[in-house]
Amino acid sequence: MTHSLNLKRHLKALAALAVLAALPAFGAAPGDAPSASSDGAALREPPPAFDDIDDVPLPDPDLWQRIRVGFALEPLDSPLVAEQEEWYASRPDYIKRFVDRGSLYLHYIVEQVEKRHMPTEIALLPVVESAFTPRAESRARASGLWQFIPSTGKTYGLKQNWWVDNRNDVVAATQAALDYLQRLHDEFGSWELALAAYNCGEGCVGRAVAWNQKRGLPTDYLSLKLPPETKSYVPKLIAVKNIVLSPATYGIELDSVPDQPYFTTVKAPAKIDVKLAAKLAGMTEEEFVALNPAHRKPVVAASATLVLPIDKVETFQENLENYDKPLVSWTTYNARRGEYVDSIARRYGLTRHELLAVNDTLRLDRRLRLRYAQQVLVPIRRSAAHHGGTSLRTASAGGAAVRAGNGGGNTQWYTVRAGDTLYAIARRFSTGVEALRSLNHLRSHTVLHIGARLRVPDPR
């Protein structure tokens, strides 16, 4: 479907409809006006007409309206825009998904864009780059909402190491992306060229501009010889803008996003398990990771801050202050070259799959041995005495602090099922692998068998 509608004319029509919606009595014929109400009170006089349509108060403006007001890019006269409009409009479920993901981050991004006096179309760029998927990764190894490649990420201060990849950090990557876009705009003097350079690199756009200049040709975006992906890049953004500007024109129902902050940052402990941090905040692990996607391991380490929903901050801080057990259940093991992954996993009560899931950067040979000496993340071995009698302070769904524990050392029987490991059972009953071994007199090389019975802490 192709939309040749003049959007400016459509907006005027929308504004006129807003006037009618705001002033319903104006459309009624004189004979249709109701008389005084049954209790004798006279109806209020209709409000005076507005001299300027911009003065009409619109009901409950949301973040989309704020974004629309800040649009500043000129329409792009290219058939590629219509093609991209058709692509998005034919995928309403796709739009719904990226709006749902983006609702966590969009208010923050819009605020940062406005602080820099940039067009608010820039706030929609993550739709094109990643569909607001904070851990999206491309074939070219670009990563995050803003799809930084490793080298550009490092240039703009985004740390990438064993613990974190700040290209996926919502706050840090947004600041870096806007710094980069501002520099590109300063270099090329046009947001369209800045966006093209963001996609294919400033060298790519610089060479295209120089080629046209040498031949006396225009140097605007549509006149340059650019790679096919870059040719479609700005039209994609303009298509997204047009759909946001007038979703009904494209048969799209855009879910409302509140015009208010969703998250804030809080000081982080030196180290804390991701799972525990989520629990203390009264969040699921998935919800926590969506706001803190930069952490590559199940431990938050070397991070100054955590990102939390505003309404979870007090819960997290109170529960953290009252928590009386270790904040981490993982440590690093300096593995030797040639060690087998399976032997390391067995030593720490894990399956190979569990070990590799938290050590996805290990370099292995075909026999699953370490190619060279490497750090491996493993569960901390704790004694039974260390865990006995301690209580776990967690957050309920409503955010209030509740207390649960192992009942001062009471135990119960657990029957081993298919796929169980000591590590998985220990996590299930809020204890450690070494505590389970001690409680059941198991050796480090003991293999669990389906149907075996183990003593485990009783939470009652």
Which pLDDT tens digit goes with each residue over 351-368?
Answer: 888 898 888 889 999 889
Predicted pLDDT at 422 = 77
Alpha-carbon torsion angle 330, 353, 422, 289, nearest 10: 50
Residue 182: both structure tokens together? 């501002």
Radius of gyration of the chain, Cα coordinates, nearest whole angstrom: 29
Which pLDDT tens digit goes with each residue over 89-104?
Answer: 999 999 999 999 999 9
CB 144 within 8 A of CB 168: yes
| Beta-bridge partner residues of 332 | 377
Q: What is the residue whose two structure tokens read 């719904």? A: 96
Which pLDDT tens digit goes with each residue over 269-286?
Answer: 999 999 999 999 999 999
What is the rounded distance in angstroms from the CA atom of residue 309 to the CA atom of residue 281?
9
Which pLDDT tens digit goes with each residue over 120-166?
Answer: 999 999 999 999 999 999 989 999 999 999 999 999 999 999 899 99
What is the rounded distance in angstroms from the CA atom of residue 422 to the CA atom of residue 384?
14
Which of 195-204, 326-335, 417-426 is the least confident region?
Answer: 417-426
What is the rounded distance in angstroms from the CA atom of residue 379 to the CA atom of residue 331?
6
Predicted pLDDT at 412 = 79
Q: Provide the percentage of residues in the chain whose pLDDT is more than 90.
A: 60
DSSP 211: H
User: Phi/psi zone of residue 101: left (φ > 0), alpha (ψ -120 to 50 degrees), beta?
Assistant: alpha
Alpha-carbon torsion angle 56, 61, 64, 65, nearest 10: 20
Nearest alpha-carbon partner for 86 in 229, 227, 222, 249 = 249
Three-state SS annotation for 114-180: HHCCCCHHHHHHHHHHHCCCCCCECCCCCECCCCECHHHHHHCCCCECCCEEHHHCHHHHHHHHHHH
Q: Which residues are catalytic?
A: 129
Residue 235 clears pLDDT 80, i.e. is over it: yes
Predicted pLDDT at 31 = 38
Residue 110: both structure tokens together? 């819009």
Biggest alpha carbon–alpha carbon distance for the chain: 93
Predicted pLDDT at 427 = 74
Please indicate whether residue 433 or residue 129 has the higher confidence score (pLDDT). Answer: 129
Predicted pLDDT at 317 = 95
Residue 228 clears pLDDT 70, i.e. is over it: yes
What is the rounded distance in angstroms from the CA atom of residue 199 to the CA atom of residue 164?
24
Q: How confident is the model at residue 54 (pLDDT cuts 50, 70, 90)?
A: low
Q: What is the mean pLDDT of the chain?
A: 82
Between CA 329 and CA 302, with CA 284 as vertex, the angle to 5 degrees is 45
How much is the pTM? 0.71
For residue 283, count CB atoms less than 10 angstroms from its CB and return exposed for 0-12, middle for 13-18, buried for 19 or more: buried
Q: Provide the percentage of residues in the chain whose pLDDT is more than 70.
A: 79
Residue 410 clears pLDDT 80, i.e. is over it: no
